Structure 1
Amino acid sequence: MSLKHHKVRVGISIGDFNGIGPEIIMKSLNDKTITDFFTPIIFGSGKLFTYQKNIFKLNHNFHYITETSQAQSDKINMVNLWKDNVNVDLGKPTEESTKMAIESLEAATNALMNGEIDVLVTAPINKEEMLKHGFAHAGHTGYLEEKFGKKGLMFLVTEDLKVAVSTHHIPISQVAENISKEKIKKQIKMLNQCLIEDFQVERPKIAILGLNPHAGDGGAIGNEEIEIIEPAIRELFDNGILAFGPFPADSFFQPNKYKNYDAVLAMYHDQGLAPFKTLAYEEGVNFTAGLPYIRTSPDHGVAYDIAGQNIADEQSFSEAIFMAIKIFKNRQEYNDLMNNRMQPRRNASSNGFDEDLPRENHH
């Protein structure tokens, strides 16, 4: 069944509530007509959000529910995971805020996998504190990969600039040993499919950055480009994927260069994210590409330094919501197209003949 006119159910995990998570969530949902476009379902605490909405002088009416199935499409739904009072200490992580961030994420992810929400938008977490309290991953991406049993790709996106990173949250000293020809090939293929399926780019052009300064300078500054990256690009290009590079990272992000490509694959976190966050600023969205479920988040952190001051900008979070909805609809359209293409042409003729049968059987 096509979901063309289906109002998308957006699940929201609250992140660390002592950061700016609840503030940017509520500001993103502040428009009275917001529920005309999608159905918000927050996995949080009624008491916590009531306390914080008073701080920020926001006038939200939440529809409190105990199960996701009780959500109403014209309301801002709150799955009330904790009914007790919550100790808010804005500006610093606590054991309570960290445990709640983990529980919210787990509840929202389970709802996503059970088909109770269509997409997941995650508010910022404190990775270090979550690791201390038993969370086994250095971020959302690793957690979701384990839950969904599939490798994903950290993909930072705006309308004009899309940057994926080959290695995620690992020390710089481990980057070189964590790239390989097969891994890069797999990631470029994933990126290519994501651009076609999720962003409706018909023939994606993908730029790949080198690992070393000046993309290795022909082997003078490292051999990874010659031994790993170039062979991966060449092999894929010969098989019809428009992959180009490796390009020196220091000069690539000039508008006249990056705008010639639909996406960029950087070799490590800061190589891709530093220029992305400089250029995209508040519009950027973090999307985990290549997974069977859709998850987005804003491209910033918990921002303890401004928590509770009513100055957090919700634009990146709003963009994350609408990007998730857009990807959901694009993916649905793509799947419908593929399914229709694969349907056998039965009963296509008005004369009642089955066109799949050989013509000589038509008497």
Structure 2
Amino acid sequence: MSTSAPQPPLPPAAERPHLALVPGEPGGVGPEFCIRLAQQRRPDCRVTVYADPDTLAAAARLLGLPLRILAQHQADAAWQAGDVVLHPVRNAAPARFGIADPANAQAVIGALSEASDGCLAGRYDGIVTGPVHKAAVNAGGIAYSGTTELLAGRAGCDVVMMLANEIVRVALVTTHLPLRAVADAITPQRLRQRLQITHAALRRDFGIAEPVIAVLGLNPHAGEAGHLGMEEIEVIEPVMAELNAQGMRLVGPLPADTAFLPDKLRRFDAVMAMYHDQGLPVLKYSGFEQAVNLTLGMPYPRVAVDHGTALDLAGSGRANPSSFMAAVATCARLAQHRKASR
């Protein structure tokens, strides 16, 4: 009869970053991903989940996995599979997997707000957020444009969206804009701010002392010396020259159709794309299931999954948790960099 080898003790709690985790839409895949996470013994971080206990219990029953809910003061108790340290945020209505119920909008936003406030107060070293159903939140009477905007507003800071996997990091100058509005939105002030925030985050959160950032042009062939557009000459190049003179290492403007070639990409620590669909299709093709969404410029690391609520898969047990697990691991790594640099 075989027995499993005893596991080494976890590092002391003080040595592991403490993360707040918000699963997002109760009817989506976030709760079951929390249960799958709870089965893992994590030497890289401690996690407190902001969620409804009944929803987590339902997700555990669905998956046939153990769940033991612990209070905050029990966080350092001996770990076993299924342990969840919980900050309870009760839903107004029982969660039904596969259905986004507007009745639970307040619980969704309340969990995000409370976890954010915990980070701002220094109780947590970072936050991981699951997918939120925007339409359901708005239908519940809460004006909501996105979790990034909510967290940035509570922190009172300007931020940059970056998506990343093991192959490439892509930051965005503009995010969710109609294509016809993009050119007007790329102003010297906006581009300068986005590059400064990204540069600072690569140094502080990723531990890269002298990051190299590839800056894409807006137009085909990066404007072809003005023959295909003047934004590169009038906006992008002057801002890059200014920041390079201050010590940054910016390369470009580069044509977007060749900047992601592997030989070129190896030279860069990040790519700054001018608009959403310029850089993100390449990132998602190169490794969608391991991709995560980072909010740069926050007082604490924030990492989210790079997918939606997956209502069509919620409750089936078939949803892939790879992005969720990558988000936790990435947030722990970024938080550890910050702790080490204090």
* TM-score, length basis structure 1: 0.84
Q: Using a 3 Å threshold, how does the CA distance of structure 1 residues 51 and 223 change in structure 2: closer, same or farther?
A: same
Alpha carbons 2:16, 2:336 under 8 Å: kept: no
Give, in whole Å, the separation in 1 of the partners of 2:47 and 2:301. Answer: 15
Which position in structure 2 is the counterpart of 1:24?
33
1:100-139 to 2 correspondences below 5 Å: 100-139=107-146
Which position in structure 1 is the counterpart of 2:22?
13
Q: Using a 3 Å threshold, how does the CA distance of structure 1 residues 116 and 162 change in structure 2: closer, same or farther?
A: same
Shifted more, 122-131 versus 310-319: the winner is 122-131
Which position in structure 1 is the counterpart of 2:85?
77
Percent identity for Structure 1 against Structure 2:
30
String of CA shifts for 1:178-227, please: whole Å, max 9, x gaps: 21112212221221111111111121110011112222222222221111
Deviating runs (4+, > 6 A) in structure 1? none
Structure number with greater Rg is: 1
Amino acid at match of 1:245: G
Q: How far is 1:296 from its partner?
A: 0.6
Which position in structure 2 is the counterpart of 1:322?
329
Amino acid at match of 2:76: S
Give, in whole Å, the separation in 1 of the partners of 2:142 and 2:177. Answer: 16
Equivalent residue in structure 1 for 2:53, among 46, 50, 53? 46
Equivalent residue in structure 1 for 2:99, among 75, 92, 102? 92
Alpha carbons 2:213, 2:271 under 8 Å: kept: yes
Shifted more, 7-16 versus 75-84: the winner is 75-84
Which position in structure 1 is the counterpart of 2:252?
245
String of CA shifts for 1:46-76, please: whole Å, max 9, x gaps: 111111111111112111x4xxx54523452
Which position in structure 2 is the counterpart of 1:143?
150
Give, in whole Å, the separation in 1 of the partners of 2:256 and 2:338. Answer: 31
Q: How far is 1:129 from its partner?
A: 3.0
SS at match of 1:115: coil
SS at match of 1:219: coil
Q: How far is 1:4 from its partner?
A: 9.9
Q: Using a 3 Å threshold, how does the CA distance of structure 1 residues 4 and 162 change in structure 2: closer, same or farther?
A: farther
Q: Using a 3 Å threshold, how does the CA distance of structure 1 residues 235 and 83 change in structure 2: closer, same or farther?
A: closer
1:206-217 to 2 correspondences below 5 Å: 206-217=213-224
Q: Does 1:301 align with 2:304?
A: no
Which position in structure 2 is the counterpart of 1:281?
288
String of CA shifts for 1:302-351, please: whole Å, max 9, x gaps: 1112111111111211111111111111112222xxxxxxxxxxxxxxxx
Q: Using a 3 Å threshold, how does the CA distance of structure 1 residues 257 and 83 change in structure 2: closer, same or farther?
A: closer
String of CA shifts for 1:141-175, please: whole Å, max 9, x gaps: 21122111110111112343111011122332322
* TM-score, length basis structure 2: 0.89
Amino acid at match of 2:85: N
Which position in structure 1 is the counterpart of 2:170?
163
User: Is there any run of 5+ residues in structure 2 with no aligned partner, and where?
Assistant: 1-11, 78-82
SS at match of 1:291: coil
Give, in whole Å, the separation in 2 of the partners of 1:276 and 1:182. Answer: 26
Alpha carbons 2:48, 2:86 under 8 Å: kept: yes
Alpha carbons 2:31, 2:56 under 8 Å: kept: yes
String of CA shifts for 1:232-288, please: whole Å, max 9, x gaps: 111112222110111121232221222210101111122122211111221112111
Give, in whole Å, the separation in 2 of the partners of 1:71 and 1:154. Answer: 35
Which position in structure 2 is the counterpart of 1:228?
235
Q: Using a 3 Å threshold, how does the CA distance of structure 1 residues 132 and 214 change in structure 2: closer, same or farther?
A: farther
Amino acid at match of 1:199: F
Q: Does 1:59 align with 2:58?
A: no
Which position in structure 1 is the counterpart of 2:80?
none
User: Is there any run of 5+ residues in structure 1 with no aligned partner, and where?
Assistant: 336-363
1:341-356 to 2 correspondences below 5 Å: none
Amino acid at match of 1:26: I
Alpha carbons 2:106, 2:142 under 8 Å: kept: no
Which position in structure 2 is the counterpart of 1:177?
184
Alpha carbons 1:98, 1:126 under 8 Å: kept: no
Q: Using a 3 Å threshold, how does the CA distance of structure 1 residues 263 and 20 change in structure 2: closer, same or farther?
A: same
Alpha carbons 1:28, 1:315 under 8 Å: kept: no
Alpha carbons 1:38, 1:73 under 8 Å: kept: no
